[in-house]
Amino acid sequence: MSEDPTIKAINRSRPTAPEGSGGIAILGLGASGIAAARLALAHRENVHVSDLRQDPITTARARDLRELGAVVELGHHDLARITQARLVVVSPGIAPGAPVLADLQARGVEWLSEPEFAARYFQSSLIAVTGTNGKTTTALLVNHLLRSAGFEAAVGGNVGGGLAPAASEVALIDPPPDWVVLEMSSFQLAGVRAFLPDIGIVTSLAPDHLDRYPDTAAYYADKARIFQNSTPWSRWVLNGENPEVLALAGDARGDRHLFARSPEPINGTRPAAFVRDGILTLVTKGREEEPLVPAASLRILGSHNVLNALAAALAARLAGADPAAVREGLSSFAPLPHRMEPVHDRDGILWVNDSKATNVEAARSALESLERPLVVLLGGHDKGEPFAALRPALERRARAAILYGEASERLASELEGTTPELHRDEGFEAAVERARSLARTGDVVLLSPACSSFDQFESYEARGLRFAELARGAGESK
């Protein structure tokens, strides 16, 4: 397919793959680190990988990379060797305050995040998706719409749950696709230097990861790095309903395209994607409205997913997808695991797994997005966010709330009086069983925890799977 000349201009300005001697040092041997090492080895680089962990899984990964020709050290980071490298790539799992990063900074050594390292090898046009919530759904939906339109497209980056690979794996695709769609977390954006998407999407913005960042401002500052290399040819797809998103863009260069549920102007600017008379609608370059599909026909639940669909449809059209393909893609896109995922429907009670809602804003959005009475499960590992922002949504939507896990005591203190029934259960299984006993015909039992899973589960995926098992009555409590 033909490529927009402005996209070609941007691609010409994107930094090329690293050249010369000195090798590549990679910190961290998770999925991103392994992918970066494989990409570097494929380009005949000398590769040194280090990780503090020495558990069996990490040891097995190290053995595999050594067989491919990498030097791998476990249990420590060899600063002398790392500082000799031409390029240092840091996995997102390494916290900003980690001693190895402080030591590198003290020596004046800069580093890149793994997606930026991968992007330096891309020959494809690039769409980057960031935001607090909605990133994964939007990234996967953009990819789905582009493929529906006949483009070769690939998605990767921060997408969890095995739904897409790390960015460096995408960079190894041969022949390269027309478009790459990357989901970018704040941790990954923290390490970008010359990262430049052709189309950038910001889905939402709200406090998160306060267990890793000193304050919300620091978290927002990393998100804002998506704009730092903007050009006059950049195109930004921004949530017009979220003032923080609009403020985040600041004076970034390029064209801004807003999406919102209402067609009313936002700060004097008409949205380019909105809902009119229940129909998802875009405004084309000719300023004519393009009706797409009824919002009610989307297979993904919740009014917040209407916003994600608008963002994805708008980005796909900017990338050259035709309206008919966008309509087909919106209609065929299925719910993602652990993201407002219906997992059981019996006796008039719908069970919805939103285990990916690991922050307060995600849970609030989920509560607001459903119209049926709610029995909601909240809890897990306490990340330090204030829970009071959940009060209005609980008061309006929830008939009962069950609080569990490490955060249950603080949840109970901050949410007292919000629902007719507020219960505390220490265990997850006990909380689900209490929800079952309280649910009535017409209710939704919603797992939207507002917390991470790490007090009782190894991941939000494991939590969601267990919720689905219990909802269906499968298996014994364990």
Q: Is residue 411 within a helix (H) or strand (E), and if so which, with residue range?
A: helix 408-415
Residue 474 pLDDT class (50, 70, 90 cuts) = low
Which residues have C-beta within 8 Å of that of residue 348, sequence separation ≥ 6?
Answer: 441, 442, 443
- Minimum mean pLDDT among 159-163, 293-297, 470-474: which range? 159-163
| Domain assignment of residue 126, given as a range | 116-332
Q: Are residues 358 and 444 in the same domain?
A: yes
Which residues have C-beta within 8 Å of that of residue 423, sequence separation ≥ 6?
Answer: 400, 401, 402, 403, 431, 434
Q: What is the mean pLDDT of residues 144-157?
A: 97
Q: Are residues 196 and 263 in the same domain?
A: yes
Q: From 87, 110, 133, give the residue that closes a domain.
A: 110
pLDDT of residue 452: 94
Does residue 434 belong to any structural domain of this protein? yes
* pLDDT value at 12 more than 50: no
Unique residue bearing structure tokens 């000193």: 214
Q: Are residues 438 and 306 in the same domain?
A: no
Does residue 346 belong to any structural domain of this protein? yes
pLDDT of residue 13: 41
CATH number for 200: 3.40.1190.10
Q: Residue 216: how many CA atoms within 13 Å on its side-chain side?
A: 11
Q: From 332, 355, 377, give the residue that closes a domain.
A: 332
Helix residue spans in 350-407 (DSSP H): 360-369, 391-397
SS3 257: strand
Rounded to an integer, what distance in angstroms lies between the CA atom of residue 27 and that of residue 113? 10
Does residue 11 belong to any structural domain of this protein? no
Which DSSP string corresponds to 263-288?
-S-BTTB--SEEEETTEEEEE-TTS-
Q: How many percent of the chain have pLDDT more than 90?
A: 84
Q: Are residues 251 and 151 in the same domain?
A: yes
Does residue 175 belong to any structural domain of this protein? yes
Does residue 3 belong to any structural domain of this protein? no
CATH number for 89: 3.40.50.720
Q: Are residues 191 and 325 in the same domain?
A: yes
Q: What is the mean pLDDT of residues 75-88?
A: 95
Q: Are residues 105 and 199 in the same domain?
A: no
Q: Give the number of domains in the chain.
A: 3
Residues 378-418 pLDDT 10s:
999 998 899 999 999 999 999 999 999 999 999 999 999 99
CATH number for 402: 3.90.190.20
Q: Are residues 383 and 258 in the same domain?
A: no
Rounded to an integer, what distance in angstroms lies between the CA atom of residue 475 and that of residue 478? 9
Does residue 170 belong to any structural domain of this protein? yes
* pLDDT value at 1 more than 60: no
Q: What is the mean pLDDT of residues 241-249?
A: 97
- Minimum mean pLDDT among 156-170, 268-282, 320-334, 348-362: which range? 156-170
* pLDDT value at 4 more than 70: no
Residue 478 pLDDT class (50, 70, 90 cuts) = very low
- Minimum mean pLDDT among 8-12, 80-84, 339-343: which range? 8-12
Residues, the chain, total?
Answer: 478
Residues 421-448 pLDDT 10s:
999 987 999 999 999 999 999 999 999 9
Q: Are residues 350 and 463 in the same domain?
A: yes
Q: Are residues 309 and 165 in the same domain?
A: yes
Residue 285 pLDDT class (50, 70, 90 cuts) = confident
Q: Are residues 185 and 301 in the same domain?
A: yes
Q: From 332, 351, 371, give the residue that closes a domain.
A: 332
Residue among 394, 471, 389, 395 nearest 429 (CA): 471
Q: Could you tell me the two tokens for 71?
A: 């030097």
